[in-house]
């Protein structure tokens, strides 16, 4: 499985470095259960896109409750915290409710790669989080027995459970002082 992920990452990086863009596959608008989607082409033109691109490196990493590294596995907030720490130098809260107060709230139609998307998967809002990749896809650590994967946020399962979205890195492309201050301030609540 790891060699398959390595080949994927090498291929994806090659496309990225060549500056190519690919057309995304078509997905049905509504599905009864979540299904893994293919990863969109991401161009790392700013810090937020770099975070999204880095998250793809952990595809296939096993889910583990409380997990916060590729070595031990990830839970959903562990994946987000790790990717933002490594990719943008940002220390984030380690649970989804606290993450739901970080940064700036944004509308679903304003999503950009690197934004956080939140879902109600445990009968409470903001109980699950992923990182938006672009082209209506996000990456997350789904649940016990699963592994980090890409999903289509337009799938019926995810559409019905959508709680909101947050932007942690400003549109200027840097993890600016204002964004970092909001993240730090919100983690103390």
Active site residues: 76, 128, 140
Report yes or no: 7 and 59 within 8 Å, Cβ to Cβ: no
Strands 128-134 and 137-140 turn out to be antiparallel
Task: Report how far Cα 56 is from the mean position of its chain's Cα atoms.
Answer: 9
Give dist(CA 101, CA 80) in Å, integer: 14
Q: Is 106 exposed, middle or buried (0-12, 13-18, 19+ CB in 10 A)?
A: middle
Q: Is-contact 187 98, C-beta < 8 A?
A: yes
Dist CA 76 CA 64 (whole Å): 9
Please say whether the beta carbons of 27 and 35 come within 8 A.
Answer: no
């Amino acid at each position: 499985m790891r060699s398959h992920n390595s080949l994927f990452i090498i291929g994806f990086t090659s496309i990225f470095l060549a500056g190519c863009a690919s057309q995304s596959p078509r997905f049905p608008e509504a599905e009864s259960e979540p299904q893994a989607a293919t990863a969109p082409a991401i161009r790392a033109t700013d810090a937020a896109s770099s975070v999204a691109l880095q998250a793809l490196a952990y595809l296939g990493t096993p889910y583990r409750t409380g997990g916060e590294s590729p070595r031990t596995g990830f839970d959903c907030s562990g994946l987000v915290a790790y990717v933002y720490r490594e990719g943008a130098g940002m220390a984030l809260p380690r649970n989804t409710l606290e993450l739901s107060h970080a940064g700036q709230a944004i509308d679903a139609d304003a999503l950009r790669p690197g934004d956080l998307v939140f879902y109600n998967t445990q009968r409470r809002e903001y109980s699950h989080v992923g990182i938006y990749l672009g082209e209506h896809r996000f990456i997350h650590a789904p649940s016990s027995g699963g592994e980090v994967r890409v999903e289509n946020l337009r799938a019926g399962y995810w559409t019905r459970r959508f709680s909101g979205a947050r932007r942690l890195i400003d549109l200027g492309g840097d993890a600016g002082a204002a964004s970092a201050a909001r993240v730090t301030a919100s983690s103390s609540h």
